[in-house]
């Protein structure tokens, strides 16, 4: 069984990063055509598929979703029309032919492709990948993917239903270090959540705590909060979670500890990628995931013109770490 999975995914590892896409993140932060699939889309797809899992619904005698079962690919016409997943249809349609060609279940392929994509980012983790998910799934119930405009209590409750603590949600949000928005404000399509979207680093955790002063597009939109730097986008949910007393200290703990950030993200992703599955029935194929390159620097900083005075201190009792301010103007690339 191991050799069957290993050979299939070893072959896929060589090609999954070459699937055409509109643009590529983790490619020196530049916009690109027909290059590698960006980690942004594939990492988001792993979450949107897996979080369709609700024990609370199951306790009511309803179908609670299959978790990381590939249903978003199997039933794309339905699930990519859920409000939180609008726009995911493109990446699903790009990926489906590869899963079919290599006879890999949709659930396996989504988690595999996401792990490979994250490994393309300098400083990123080498995620665990377990294979053997069934290719039989049902349509996920709607409204299980949190929205950026949701109240923080609603987000915590939804994630708690799926088995994640508020701090584990903070850990998962490390993915926003290499992510951008598309649909909250289509007018500034591809605006990243931090100033270093090509690097899996702690800048996201620093910059989300900076006082927001502007909207990068034409005014405010539902699900958006003010950002601190021109060209950078801030989700309202990220803004709230960074400042909530239940999560503020976990958030701040990553500012000067990228190693901890990567460790916690890796652990949380291992949990998320197996939601709805019996891990004892899966096969560890982590060897096929490439080893990420090291980041040029793993030390976070304040963007140009920003200092500790711009930080909205939220972790009570723990001083904010001492950081240097970047010399020269901070340029925020579109991804």
Q: What is the pLDDT of residue 11?
A: 56
Confidence of residue 13 (pLDDT cuts 50, 70, 90): low
- What's the CA gap between 136 and 108, in Å, rounded? 12
Whether the Cβ atoms of residue 237 and residue 169 lie closer than 8 Å to each other: no
> How long a stretch of residues is the chain?
335
Q: Which of 47-61, 93-107, 235-249 shows the lowest mean pLDDT across its residues?
A: 93-107
Residues placed in the known binding site: 49, 67, 69, 71, 176-177, 194, 196, 201
Mean pLDDT of 252-266: 97
Check the CA dihedral 29-31-32-38 and report its sign: positive
Mean pLDDT of 121-130: 95
Residue pLDDT, tens place only, 199-225: 999 999 999 999 999 999 999 999 999
Q: Which run of H or E residues covers position 116?
A: helix 106-119
Mean pLDDT of 143-161: 99
Among all chains, which residue has been given the structure tokens 């995620």? 127
- Looking at the DSSP bridge assignments, the partners of residue 199 are 122
Statement: residue 244 has pLDDT above 70: yes
Statement: residue 133 has pLDDT above 60: yes
Whether the Cβ atoms of residue 74 and residue 106 lie closer than 8 Å to each other: yes
| Cα dihedral 296→269→52→35 (10° resolution) | 30
- What's the CA gap between 93 and 4, in Å, rounded? 25
Statement: residue 110 has pLDDT above 60: yes
Statement: residue 1 has pLDDT above 80: no
- Looking at the DSSP bridge assignments, the partners of residue 334 are none
Confidence of residue 12 (pLDDT cuts 50, 70, 90): low
Confidence of residue 295 (pLDDT cuts 50, 70, 90): confident
Bigger pLDDT: 9 vs 70: 70
Q: Which run of H or E residues covers position 191?
A: strand 191-192
Residues placed in the known binding site for heme b: 176
CATH topology of domain 2-310: Peroxidase; domain 1 (1.10.520)
Residues placed in the known binding site for Ca(2+): 49, 67, 69, 71, 177, 194, 196, 201
Mean pLDDT of 102-126: 95
- What's the CA gap between 87 and 17, in Å, rounded? 20
Mean pLDDT of 86-107: 94
Q: What is the pLDDT of residue 96?
A: 95
Task: Based on the residue annotation, tell me whether 280 is a catalytic residue of this protein.
Answer: no
Confidence of residue 78 (pLDDT cuts 50, 70, 90): very high
Q: What is the pLDDT of residue 8?
A: 58
What's the distance, Cα to Cα, between the start and end of the chain in Å? Answer: 39
C-beta neighbour count of 139 within 10 angstroms? 17
Q: Which of 1-10, 136-145, 277-286, 302-311 shows the lowest mean pLDDT across its residues?
A: 1-10
Residue pLDDT, tens place only, 46-77: 999 999 999 999 999 999 999 999 999 999 99
pTM of the model: 0.91
Mean pLDDT of 119-143: 96
């Amino acid at each position: 069984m191991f050799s069957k999975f290993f050979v299939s995914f070893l072959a896929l590892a060589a090609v999954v990063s070459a699937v055409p896409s509109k643009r590529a993140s983790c490619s020196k932060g530049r916009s690109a055509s027909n290059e590698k699939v960006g980690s942004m889309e594939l990492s988001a797809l792993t979450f949107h598929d897996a979080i369709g899992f609700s024990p609370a619904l199951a306790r009511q005698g309803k179908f609670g979703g299959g978790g990381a079962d590939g249903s978003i690919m199997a039933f794309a016409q339905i699930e990519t029309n859920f409000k939180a997943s609008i726009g995911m249809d493109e990446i699903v349609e790009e990926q489906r032919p590869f899963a079919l060609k290599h006879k890999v279940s949709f659930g396996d392929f989504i988690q595999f492709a996401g792990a490979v994509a994250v490994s393309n980012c300098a400083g990123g983790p080498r995620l665990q990948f377990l294979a053997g998910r069934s290719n039989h799934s049902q349509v996920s119930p709607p409204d299980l993917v949190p929205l950026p405009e949701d109240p923080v209590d609603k987000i915590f409750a939804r994630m708690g239903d799926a088995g994640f603590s508020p701090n584990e949600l903070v850990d998962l949000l490390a993915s926003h270090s290499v992510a951008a928005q598309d649909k909250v404000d289509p007018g500034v399509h591809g605006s990243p959540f931090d100033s270093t979207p090509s690097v899996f680093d702690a800048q996201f955790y620093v910059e989300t705590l900076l006082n927001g002063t502007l909207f990068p597009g034409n005014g405010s939109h539902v699900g958006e909060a003010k950002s601190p730097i021109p060209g950078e986008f801030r989700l309202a949910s990220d803004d709230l979670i960074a400042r909530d007393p239940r999560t503020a200290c976990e958030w701040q703990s990553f500012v000067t500890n990228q190693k901890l950030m990567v460790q916690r993200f890796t652990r949380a992703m291992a949990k998320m990628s197996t939601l709805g599955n019996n891990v004892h029935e899966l096969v560890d194929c982590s060897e096929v995931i490439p080893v990420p390159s090291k980041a040029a620097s793993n030390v976070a900083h304040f963007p140009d013109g920003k200092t500790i005075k711009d930080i909205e201190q939220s972790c009570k009792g723990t001083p904010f770490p001492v950081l240097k301010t970047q010399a020269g103007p901070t340029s925020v690339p579109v991804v």
